[in-house]
Amino acid sequence: MMKFFLKIFFLLIVINFQFSINNCTAQTQKQFLKIGDQLNTEGDYYGASLWYKKAMDIDSTYLEVVFKYAESLRKYNDYAKAEAKYYYIYKKDRGRLYPMAPFWYATMQKYNGKYADAKKSFKRSKRFFSRDRKGYHYLKVINELKSCEEALNIMKDSIPVDIKNMGSNINTYSSELGGTLLNDSTIIYSSLRDEKMQGNNIVVDTSLYLVRLFKGSKNGNVWTLDNKLDEKINEPNFHIANGCLNTKESIFITPVAIELLIVTFMP
C-alpha cells in the first residue's frame, strides 16, 4: 500500500512540474508576441519578425503565430521566407481561418518570379473571395492572373542580361537601395544598417538603426565598401537616402526629412 501511495505522489509531482513548464513556456511565448506586436505597430517589421520567430520556435502549431511571422517577413520584403510560411499555413488550414494565406502565397510566388506557379495559386485562391465578386480581393486576384499571364508573355521576348550581385562587402541582407554610379568604379548608395550588426550583416538590435549613405569602390572585378559618408551628408538621427549628382557632377543632393541637403564639391 505504501508503494502505491509513493507512486501516486511522484506522479503528481511530475504532472505538476510538467504543468509549470508548459505554463512558463506559454507565458514566454505571449511575451515574445507582445513585443513583436508592438514593433509591428511601430512599423519595425524586421524587428517584429525576430520576436515572432522566437515565439514560433517555442510552438509552431499555433498558426496565428506563424501567420504573424509570415506577415512581418512580407512587410520587410523577405519574400522567399514569406512564401514558405504562407504555404505552410495554407497546407495546414486550407484557407478556412486564414483565407489571406493562399492569396499572399500566390503573391510571394509572383514577387519571386515564379509566374506560372503564381498563376495556378491565384486561381486556387480566387474561390476564397468569390462571395463578393465586386470586392477588392476578388478583383485583385483577377488582375493578378492577367499580370502573371502578361509576365509569361514578356519572358518569351526577353533579352539575355548578365546581372551580378556586388557581393557581401557592399550588400547586407536586403537593405541596400538608391545606388548612384559616379563612374565605372565608384558608387554611392543607401543602406539600412548600424554598428551592432553581426559579421553576417544581420541586425541584432533594431532600437536605432538608420538609412545612411555609403561609398563603394571597384578594384578589378571586386566591389568593396570604402566608408560611410561624412556627417555633413549623413546628418545624425535622420534617414539619409537616394542622393544624386547634378549634371556637372559638382553638387550632391539628398533629402533629409522634408528638407534638401546640397553639398558642393570644391575643386
**pLDDT at position 228:** 81
- Give the pLDDT confidence of 44-99 residue by residue, as tens digits: 898 899 999 999 999 888 899 999 999 999 998 899 999 999 999 999 999 999 99
The C-alpha cell at 120 is 495556378
**pLDDT at position 208:** 61
Q: Which domain holds residue 228?
A: 176-264
**pLDDT at position 166:** 85
Q: Within this chain, do residues 206 and 105 fall inside the same structural domain, yes or no? A: no
Question: Is residue 10 in some structural domain?
Answer: no
Q: Within this chain, do residues 44 and 146 fall inside the same structural domain, yes or no? A: yes
**Other Cβ atoms within 10 Å of 220 Cβ, number:** 6
- Give the pLDDT confidence of 213-243 residue by residue, as tens digits: 888 898 888 888 888 877 777 777 777 777 7
Q: Within this chain, do residues 30 and 135 fall inside the same structural domain, yes or no? A: yes
Question: Is residue 58 in some structural domain?
Answer: yes
Count of alpha carbons within 13 angstroms of residue 150, beta-carbon side: 6
Tell me the pLDDT band of 161, cut-offs 50, 70 and 90.
confident
Question: Is residue 168 in some structural domain?
Answer: no
- Give the pLDDT confidence of 198-216 residue by residue, as tens digits: 555 566 665 566 788 888 8
Q: Within this chain, do residues 146 and 216 fall inside the same structural domain, yes or no? A: no
Tell me the pLDDT band of 121, cut-offs 50, 70 and 90.
very high
Cα separation of 245 and 251, whole Å? 6
Q: Within this chain, do residues 51 and 180 fall inside the same structural domain, yes or no? A: no
Residue appearing with cell numbers 485583385: 140
Question: Is residue 69 in some structural domain?
Answer: yes
Question: Is residue 134 in some structural domain?
Answer: yes
Q: Within this chain, do residues 92 and 148 fall inside the same structural domain, yes or no? A: yes
**pLDDT at position 242:** 76
Q: Are 190 and 176 in contact (CB under 8 A)?
A: yes
Question: Is residue 49 in some structural domain?
Answer: yes
Q: Are 128 and 103 in contact (CB under 8 A)?
A: yes
Of 69, 58, 63, the residue nearest 93 (C-alpha): 63
Domain end: 87, 121, 156, which one? 156
Question: Is residue 164 in some structural domain?
Answer: no
- Asked if pLDDT for residue 196 goes beyond 80, the answer is no
**pLDDT at position 197:** 57
Q: Within this chain, do residues 146 and 38 fall inside the same structural domain, yes or no? A: yes
Q: Within this chain, do residues 135 and 201 fall inside the same structural domain, yes or no? A: no
pTM of the model: 0.66
**pLDDT at position 59:** 86
Question: Is residue 4 in some structural domain?
Answer: no
Cα separation of 145 and 75, whole Å? 22
Chain mean pLDDT for the chain: 81
Domain end: 101, 125, 156, which one? 156
- Give the pLDDT confidence of 127-152 residue by residue, as tens digits: 999 999 999 999 999 999 999 999 99
Q: How many domains does the chain have?
A: 2
Domain end: 91, 126, 156, which one? 156
Domain with residue 130: its CATH number is 1.25.40.10
